[in-house]
Amino acid sequence: MKCSGLSESQKLALALEHALTREAKIWKVPTVHDFTLKGTDISPLYYEKAVLWIKELNALFQFSSETFALAVSLLNRLLATVKAQLKYLRCIAIACLILAAKINEEDEIIPSVKKLAVLSGCKCSPAEILRMERIILDKLHWDLYTATSMDFLNIFHAMVMSKWSHLLNGLPQRNPSRHVAFLTRQLQHCMACHQVLQFKGSTLALVIITLELERLTPDWFPVITDLLKKGQVDNTQFIHCKELVDQQLLGFWSPNAVYIFNPANQSIQTHLDGRLACCSSTVKKARQSYSQGQGGWSGLRGNAYEDDTQTDEFFDGFRCLYNEDGMPETGQTSNMDGLEGQEEGSNTCPPLQPAPQIDWPKSV
């Protein structure tokens, strides 16, 4: 697609138009009927586990977020096309990831099928994976690429930043690339929820952007109205999707996350001594439980100020309150990362809960 001689806004408009055309032509997802995906014996629970497993493998092999989104899109299109069985779900999932990687990734970073089979623990032979690849290619008529929700998220975010770049002003350690990385983690979380499976990628991406803008600025409505018009998103679908995503993002934060607050003002240190002692006691107990095999942590990070670009699975909700020196910005608070400011008497140490496990059936 040639964009030479065009302005930034024209390039983005052209990219959005092309993505919408591809989505309208190819988008297809399975529907839930009688507690299973229609035409299969796969329950929504195992569908979600399959998507989460693809996400884990995507991170293991250091593929891009675009590869993950395309792999999920291929999975959805195939499950909506064929009468798949649960016992083949793992093989289908890894084959979709491999096909997506062949489209988006450089050849030198894609492991061999044999290595992928071993490292993934999929319990499929290389021959079975290659056979599944051919089946997917045949059922999807070799037309694999479509505009994914990740593509739309990047386009919509670029449109917002090109026209309303001031929205990120005053937010420490926040730039457009880190901001879209945070939104990507929200999007991936929602992609594993079967409740939002019915919505197109353009609708889901715009909802993620909308919920974030509502937290950032009171003047979000004109921005979203403009994007709704450009994205040709149905208002009814948009509102329904927004309600479901808002509920899903309530569970975006890990129940076992321990946040560490390092005050710069000595005058408030005395008020926090009791809280920090509580955190210290909780962490000690957690370490003892972990060493004794009584459960795992899913969100504890030793360095609360680690760079966003190295945080793939979890995000420190207090990070945006700090400048480059790791000290809190005076007079600035933000709840853009989904956490409201805590009152002085509240408990800052959430109770540890067992981390969720992905238990595949023996037949898979």
Q: What distance in Å separates the CA atoms of residue 204 and residue 242, rounded to the nearest whole number?
A: 8
Q: What distance in Å separates the CA atoms of residue 356 and residue 364, rounded to the nearest whole number?
A: 19
Count CB-CB contacts under 10 A for residue 249.
Answer: 18
Q: What are phi and psi of 278, to 5 degrees?
A: -60, -45
Most confidently modeled range among 90-104, 178-192, 205-219? 90-104
pLDDT exceeds 80 at position 313:
no
Buried/exposed code over 27-45 (b: 16+ C-beta within 10 A; e: otherwise): bebbebeeebbeebebebe
For 17, 35, 103, 170, the CA distances from 81, given in Å and listed in that order, are 26, 18, 21, 48
Q: What distance in Å separates the CA atoms of residue 302 and residue 317, rounded to the nearest whole number?
A: 14
Q: What is the pLDDT of residue 223?
A: 87
Most confidently modeled range among 46-55, 213-222, 225-234, 267-276? 46-55
Q: What is the pLDDT of residue 205?
A: 95
Q: What is the mean pLDDT of residues 293-298?
A: 36
Q: What distance in Å separates the CA atoms of residue 186 and residue 189, rounded to the nearest whole number?
A: 5
Q: Of 205, 233, 238, 243, which Cα lies nearest the Cα of 69?
A: 205
Q: What is the pLDDT of residue 220?
A: 85
Residue with tokens 């600025």: 217
Q: What is the pLDDT of residue 171?
A: 59
Q: What is the pLDDT of residue 342?
A: 41
Worst-scoring range by mean pLDDT, 58-72, 114-128, 168-182, 205-219?
A: 168-182
Q: What distance in Å separates the CA atoms of residue 69 and residue 191, rounded to the nearest whole number?
A: 8
Q: What are phi and psi of 264, to 5 degrees?
A: -90, -30
Q: What distance in Å separates the CA atoms of residue 30 and residue 36, rounded to the nearest whole number?
A: 10
Q: Who contacts 178 (Cβ-Cβ below 8 Å, separation ≥6)?
A: 308, 309
Flag whether the pTM goes above 0.75: no
Q: What is the mean pLDDT of residues 103-126?
A: 91
